[in-house]
Each structure stands twice: as C-alpha cells, then as structure tokens.
Amino acid sequence: MAYTLYLKKGEEKRIQAGHSWVYANEVQKIEGKDRNGSLATVCTFDGKFLGKGYINHLSKIIVRIFIRDDVEDTKELFMERLKKANDSRVRLGYNNAYRVCFGEADDLPALIIDKYDDVLSVQFLSLGMDKRKDMITECLVELFHPKGIYERSDVAVRLKEGLQEVKGVLYGEVPDRVIINENGIKIAVDVKGGQKTGYFLDQKENRLCARKYCKDATVLDCFSNTGGFSLNVATVAKEVTAVDISPTAIASVIENKELNGFTNLNAVCANVFDILREYREQGKTFGTVILDPPAFTKSVSEIKDAIRGYTDINVLGLKLVEKGGYLISSSCSHYVSQQAFEKMLIDSARIAKRRVKCIEIKSQAPDHPYLLCAEETSYLKFFVLQVD
C-alpha cells in the first residue's frame, strides 16, 4: 500500500505556497508500506490532500512534491512536464545551449537537464528521480532526438539521498568536446569532465552584459574556468587576462581562444588570492576586474568564512580598478543572500578606500528560474560597480 504522510499542524503553509520540499521533521505520522523511492501522498494533519512526490526515508527532505492533483507519475506526465519546460525556454529564444529543466522551478524536483547543441547533460539528484532514470532518458530521446545523453550525477548532494556519485553515457554517442554558440562566440564544452554539467550556462546573459563595461579596456577575469567571461568580453576589450587555479580550465581557455581566433586574450594558471596581491605589489591596474568565484559556502555554518573570502577578493579587486573603471562581482553561494552580498561590497569599498556606484544588478539567467516561494532555488548575484 502506497505511503501517506500526515504533516504536523501548521507545516502545510509552505507547501500550499508552492514549495515542494517536505522535511522529515515536519511529518506527524506515516501510514502504508511501499518501496523507498515510491510515489507517496502528503496530507495536512487532518487528512486534506496536499500533493504527491517520491519518498526517501534516508533523506532529511523526505518527499519532494511535484504532483498537486489526482494524476499518477506516468511517462506521459514526464513528457508533458519536460516539453513544457523546454517550450518555456524556446519561447525566450534559447536554441543552442541552455538549461532545459531546473528541478523545482519546472515541477520536476531534483532533475537538472542542460542542452549543449545536440548533446544533453543530466543530473538525477534524488532517489526518486534516480530510480526513473531509464524512463526519463526515453522521454528525452523522444523529445530531443539527441546525438547523445550523458549523466553528470557526480555531485556530493547525492550522498544526502543515500546515492553514490556516478557519471557516464546514458544514450547514443557523446563526443569529448561539444561546440556551443554563446552570444555569438564558440565555446568547446567538455560534457564528460567540465565542471557541473560541463559549463556554467547560468551567466550567459551576464557575460553579454559584461561586454558593455569592457569596451577598449584591459580586463582581468578572475576564476575564469573555461573562459566564459573572458571570451565574451574579448570581442570588445583591448586585452583580457583570464586567471584560474585549474590547469585543465586554463587549457580550455586557450583552446577556446584559438577556436575564436582571439589574439587579445591570455590565460594564467594561478591562485586568485595570490595573484591579486602580486598585481597590487607590482602596481598593475585594470579598466575592469571580473570576480566569479566558486561557492565559498555550501552550508549556513560557513557563511562567516565565506563573507571573509568575498571581502578579501573584492577589496583586492577594487584596489586594482583604474579610476572610473568597473568591478563586476558575482556570488553563486545560495547561503549568502543578496543583502549580505551587498553589505560585503559596501564594507569592501570602505576597506579599499574606493567610492563605488552600483550600475547594474542581475541574477541567474532566465533559463534558470527560481520559485519565489522556495528561496533555496535562488543563488546567483551579479553586481556591476563603477569605481572612483
């Protein structure tokens, strides 16, 4: 008999607002007996239907609701949801490389699908989705007719679901490099080995925005990874220096530079924290400094340390900007709120003794929408500051 979960009194409000996560400690009682990962029904304390989702007794998030009416989790339902998710991107003009499905926001919690030209890169981040891997792969083949589908479930969050990190080909043929078109430039994506699902699609529009602030400028792109920002701004800048600590990332920057025939881009393999200090000692300055570090915190307990890290690089970055130039500063740490990030920028400007104006604030790309009622799904901050 399928599981039915009854929430504690008052715990239904977040779910009724549209949030999908049911925490184990919000549950009053569970009736029924089924397999772990099966479709379970969630009710209020007094038995009113709230929705259905896959149960995982091993996870703190015991159910992620994704069905709110009287339907089953059939292949047709998945086809419908996936098609709707894709249509909403195509409608915005996305065609070559984009996030097809962003979990909760597309009513398919814990399922991430990125499209890189004719290859799909997928993450199954919950037990429920993992168990339906074959069916979801079939849906994707029918909907996209891709050349290949690759699984990039090599992420630590899977451990919280009692799952191992895995990756590999799910369907067809997956080449070592897929060339995508981003804002008119070519980028070679390593779907099998690149970070996350291969590339950071969430900054696409922000990279285009960054071009405005790099015209004829000398630009320093810190934490460049494969060169997303560097390549975008190399179309307008005088000279761009990309810095990343990973030798493979730097090799990709060079590969991408050659792919586009740029001659004004150089790539340096170094620790940003050190190189910013070295440039300062050498008296180097730049028209625009871009900071796009990895998430400095993946939990609430590390927020203080993360702010310290952000302050350090932002102070150093600000000191290197020429008068009237720009600091473009990003954070992808969900746990550092936009407010906290803004406060950090104010503190950094004071410490660096620079007066700054906020020119633009942006967020994650429109193909990475987040549910307003589920702030956990919002993570990207992007500030453009003019520095005096």
Q: Rounded to whole angstroms, how far apart are CA atoms 224 and 294?
A: 10
Q: Rounded to whole angstroms, how far apart are CA atoms 240 and 235?
A: 10
Q: How many residues at the interface with ligand SAH, by CB under 6 A?
A: 18
Closest CA to 105 of 378, 379, 369, 388: 369
Q: Rounded to whole angstroms, how far apart are CA atoms 63 and 294?
A: 29
Q: How far is C-alpha 19 from the geometric centre of its chain's CA atoms?
A: 19
Task: Give 138 or 302: the residue with its C-beta nearer to ligand SAH.
Answer: 302
- Our finding on whether 45 is near ligand SAH (CB under 6 A) is no
Task: Give 11 or 244: the residue with its C-beta nearer to ligand SAH.
Answer: 244
Minimum CB–partner distance for residue 200 and ligand SAH (Å):
4
- Our finding on whether 241 is near ligand SAH (CB under 6 A) is no
Closest CA to 377 of 58, 95, 38, 64: 64
Closest CA to 180 of 170, 191, 172: 191
Task: Give 151 or 244: the residue with its C-beta nearer to ligand SAH.
Answer: 244
Minimum CB–partner distance for residue 304 and ligand SAH (Å):
19
**Listed ranges 35-43, 118-126, 153-161, 271-279: which one lies at the site for ligand SAH (CB under 6 A):** 271-279
Task: Give 126 or 331: the residue with its C-beta nearer to ligand SAH.
Answer: 331
- Our finding on whether 367 is near ligand SAH (CB under 6 A) is no
- Our finding on whether 294 is near ligand SAH (CB under 6 A) is yes
Please select the residue that binds ligand SAH; options are 98, 200, 286, 370, rule is CB under 6 A: 200
CB 81 within 8 A of CB 107: yes
How many degrees, rounded to 5, is the angle at CA 187 between CA 105 and CA 371?
Answer: 10
DSSP letters spanning 176-217: S-EEEEETTEEEEE-TTTSSTTSS-GGGHHHHHHHHTT-TT-
Contact code string over 209-238 relative to ligand SAH, x by CB under 6 A = --------------xxx--xx---------
Please select the residue that binds ligand SAH; options are 256, 292, 296, 368, rule is CB under 6 A: 292
Minimum CB–partner distance for residue 125 and ligand SAH (Å):
19
- Our finding on whether 288 is near ligand SAH (CB under 6 A) is no
Region for 295 from its dihedrals, namely left if φ exceeds 0, alpha if ψ lies in -120 to 50, beta otherwise = beta
Task: Give 78 or 116: the residue with its C-beta nearer to ligand SAH.
Answer: 116
Minimum CB–partner distance for residue 271 and ligand SAH (Å):
4
Minimum CB–partner distance for residue 71 and ligand SAH (Å):
39
Task: Give 6 or 379: the residue with its C-beta nearer to ligand SAH.
Answer: 379
Minimum CB–partner distance for residue 5 and ligand SAH (Å):
38
Minimum CB–partner distance for residue 294 and ligand SAH (Å):
4
Please select the residue that binds ligand SAH; options are 12, 26, 106, 244, rule is CB under 6 A: 244
Q: Rounded to whole angstroms, how far apart are CA atoms 279 and 286?
A: 10
Q: Residue 294 has what DSSP assignment?
A: P
Minimum CB–partner distance for residue 292 and ligand SAH (Å):
4
Element containing residue 338 per DSSP (H, E): helix 338-352
C-alpha distances in Å from residue 8, one per residue of 102, 161, 259? 29, 23, 58
Please select the residue that binds ligand SAH; options are 203, 218, 333, 348, rule is CB under 6 A: 203
Minimum CB–partner distance for residue 185 and ligand SAH (Å):
12
Beta strands across the sheet bearing 265-269 = 265-269, 239-244, 218-222, 286-291, 321-331, 381-387, 356-362
Mention every residue, 6+ apart, whose C-beta is less than 8 A from residue 238: 216, 217, 218, 264, 287
DSSP letters spanning 350-377: HHHT--EEEEEEE-S-TTS---TT-GGG
Q: Name the residues that contact ligand SAH, by CB under 6 A.
A: 200, 203, 223-225, 228-229, 243-246, 249, 271-273, 292-294
